[in-house]
Amino acid sequence: MNYKDFLENINITMEDFCRESFFENRDHIRVKKEATVVKNLQRIFDAVFKISYEKGFQAMSMRDLSREADMSMGALYAYFSSKEELLEIIQRQGRAIVNRAITVCLDAEASPDLKLRNLIRTHLYLSEIGRPWFYFTFMEAKNLSKKERDEVLAMESFTEKILVDILEEGSAKGIFNQKDHRLTACMIKAMQQEWYLKRWKYSKRKISVDQYADFVLEFVNAFLKPATTGPGKSEKMEDK
Amino acid sequence: MNYKDFLENINITMEDFCRESFFENRDHIRVKKEATVVKNLQRIFDAVFKISYEKGFQAMSMRDLSREADMSMGALYAYFSSKEELLEIIQRQGRAIVNRAITVCLDAEASPDLKLRNLIRTHLYLSEIGRPWFYFTFMEAKNLSKKERDEVLAMESFTEKILVDILEEGSAKGIFNQKDHRLTACMIKAMQQEWYLKRWKYSKRKISVDQYADFVLEFVNAFLKPATTGPGKSEKMEDK
DNA sequence: GTCTATATACGGATAGAC
DNA sequence: GTCTATCCGTATATAGAC
């Protein structure tokens, strides 16, 4: 699997994001025509991501947003009832999509090393498509209400747990080493986050998400390789 | 070296931080008595870190700060001329201290693997002492003026460069492998950042900074170990 | 040196015209 | 559905008393 394959299989665009947001929140959205809502939500969300990337969600005024999205204040408030609700809608919708994509990519039949490879790639590719959202969520999580913040933490635990389960399975089968699986999972997550938190750096250096993913996998596999004290299964747990 | 040794050798306390801030900014600080300034700066900075950790610097009002630091608005403004200046003072002072500590820990005589070990530990231990500052800087860098933001980026490049140099030296001497040193440096930095960005997680799990440092070193070393499959350097534990 | 009180601007949110 | 005009609270920053 590479990024191109991934894009062809999973089909998630900004438009899907907006359309789903519309269906999820249609009770609260005063405008009723789907096409209009989708079009405007797209402008709103793009503007939120852009301004938040530059100076943070808290520092973004509704007037900033109105200017960037090219809509009046009044029009904006037809789509959400408060700035906080806007934040929540974006967070919730993103979580739903990530959740779904991660769950779909898990294949109970595959071997642990394939599962791990698949999961790491999927997460990186997902964060490449939805980079603005991933960055936004990481930076703005602390501004959420307690209830919403707990959801973010639950998400973090959820993805970590999946990694740990795979590592344990591989460890039991002798494919991976017997080190601390939870810490290993944390390192993997740190490397995944690095990709969307420092994206500017990799853009500048022209490192593609595929190159990055390959490197992370190599890095992780070097650590996971079981101790090969004798002439046993010394190499290659590797690749498709 | 472990955290305890580090603490005994390097002596950096919050008070030092405040005293140096005073000397650096005495022109702009209306209060002149050192003891008073140091005491009050400490209250101010502690309060800034606390509130910013909870809701971010932008969302912190000067009234919040006044309440938390137990000083009046008027008193606060005797120590800085604007909220933005306050932010800059904190950022600058922290950078100066980190810079000094990193530079001091470099030992030109040591072997690359020792240098690397030393540098990774120093950075982790430093971020353990100055956790509030590290977290703060990461999260609030985007709120700085362009000039200050460039300083943060320069700092990032600086520490990355030191890592890359060590990796190259080790690589040349056959102690490390021949992989992409810049990407390796990025992975190391990502793992260092993980420590102060997700500190709550490790506190909850009772993982000490020493345990974390050991784990990171093990992780990194597994990757850096030169391929020793046989005579000659047949790399590739990898394919694709 | 520190306080209280206040100037002034800007924030989120809404009413009502079109 | 969208716009303009506006309400009103809260923000930063300062003046002047003590």
Residue B229 confidence (pLDDT):
55
A163 closest CA partner among A145, A144, A132, A189: A189
Total structural domains in chain A? 1
Let me know if residue A174 belongs to a domain: yes
Q: At residue A13, does pLDDT exceed 50?
A: yes
Q: Spell out the per-residue pLDDT of chain B, length 240, in tens.
A: 999 999 999 989 999 999 999 999 999 999 999 999 999 999 999 999 999 999 999 999 999 999 999 999 999 999 999 999 999 999 999 999 999 999 999 988 999 999 999 999 999 999 999 999 999 999 999 999 999 999 999 999 999 999 999 999 999 999 999 999 999 999 999 999 999 999 999 999 999 999 999 999 999 999 999 987 544 444 444 443
Let me know if residue A229 belongs to a domain: no
pTM of the model: 0.94
Q: At residue A228, does pLDDT exceed 90?
A: no
Burial of B79 (0-12, 13-18, 19+ CB in 10 A): buried
When pLDDT is cut at 50, 70 and 90, the band that residue A45 belongs to is: very high
Kindly determine whether residue A187 and residue B239, on different chains, have CB atoms separated by under 8 Å.
no
Q: Which residues contact B89 (CB under 8 A, 6 or more apart)?
A: B21, B24, B25, B80
Q: At residue A75, does pLDDT exceed 50?
A: yes
Q: Which residues contact A171 (CB under 8 A, 6 or more apart)?
A: A177, A178, A181
Residue B138 confidence (pLDDT):
97
C-alpha B97: how far from chain center: 9
Nucleotide lying nearest to B83, CA to C1' measure: D12
Distance CA B198, CA A136 (A): 17
Q: At residue A137, does pLDDT exceed 70?
A: yes
Distance CA A51, CA A60 (A): 6
Let me know if residue A120 belongs to a domain: yes
B205: contact with A, CB 8 A cutoff: yes
Q: At residue A215, does pLDDT exceed 50?
A: yes
CATH of residue B50's domain is 1.10.357.10
Mean pLDDT, residues A137-148: 93
Distance CA B121, CA B106 (A): 12
* Residue of higher predicted confidence among B238 and A135: A135
Query: Could you read off the pLDDT of A191-205 as tens digits, one per residue?
Result: 999 999 999 999 999
Q: Quick one: chain B helix, strand, coil %, rounded to 5?
A: 70, 0, 30
Mean pLDDT, residues A108-128: 97
Q: Which amino acid belongs to residue B235?
A: E
B139 closest CA partner among B79, B222, B199, B67: B199
Q: Spell out which residues of chain B touch residue A186, defining contact as CB-CB under 8 Å.
A: 194, 198, 201
Let me know if residue A238 belongs to a domain: no
Let me know if residue A60 belongs to a domain: yes
Kindly determine whether residue B190 and residue A186, on different chains, have CB atoms separated by under 8 Å.
no
Question: DSSP per residue over B185-230, as a string?
Answer: HHHHHHHHHHHHHTHHHHHHTT--HHHHHHHHHHHHHHHHSPP-SS
Distance CA B44, CA B55 (A): 16
Kindly determine whether residue A219 and residue B216, on different chains, have CB atoms separated by under 8 Å.
no
Q: Which residues contact A200 (CB under 8 A, 6 or more apart)?
A: none
Q: Which amino acid belongs to residue A24?
A: E
Task: Report A:171-200 residues touching B (Cβ under 8 A).
Answer: 179-180, 182-184, 186-187, 189-191, 193-194, 198
Please tell me the distance in Å from B69's CA to the nearest CA on chain A. Answer: 21
Domain that holds residue A37: 3-224
Let me know if residue B240 belongs to a domain: no
B136, B21 Cβ separation under 8 angstroms? no
Of A27-41, A135-149, A196-210, B221-235, where does mean pLDDT reach its minimum? B221-235
Question: Residue A38 has which token pair?
Answer: 């989708």
A66, A80 Cβ separation under 8 angstroms? no
The answer to whether B31 CB is within 7 Å of strand C is yes
DSSP state at residue A240: -
B146: contact with A, CB 8 A cutoff: no
Please tell me the distance in Å from B210's CA to the nearest CA on chain A. Answer: 13
Cβ-based neighbour number of residue A17 at 10 Å: 22
Residue A229 confidence (pLDDT):
59
B121, B129 Cβ separation under 8 angstroms? no
For residue A55, CA distances in Å to A58, A59, B149 come to 8, 6, 12
Q: At residue A239, does pLDDT exceed 60?
A: no
Mean pLDDT, residues A40-55: 97
- How many residue pairs from chains A and B have C-beta atoms closer than 8 A? 96
Find which of B167, B186, B191 to mutate to test the A interface (most A CBs within 10 Å of its CB).
Answer: B186
Question: Residue B113 has which token pair?
Answer: 């693997």
Let me know if residue A237 belongs to a domain: no
C-alpha B75: how far from chain center: 30
Residue B227 confidence (pLDDT):
80
Residue A227 confidence (pLDDT):
81
Let me know if residue A240 belongs to a domain: no
Mean pLDDT, residues A162-166: 98
Q: Which residues touch strand D (CB under 7 A)?
A: A 30-33, 36-37, 40, 71-75, 78; B 60-63, 73-74, 77, 81-84
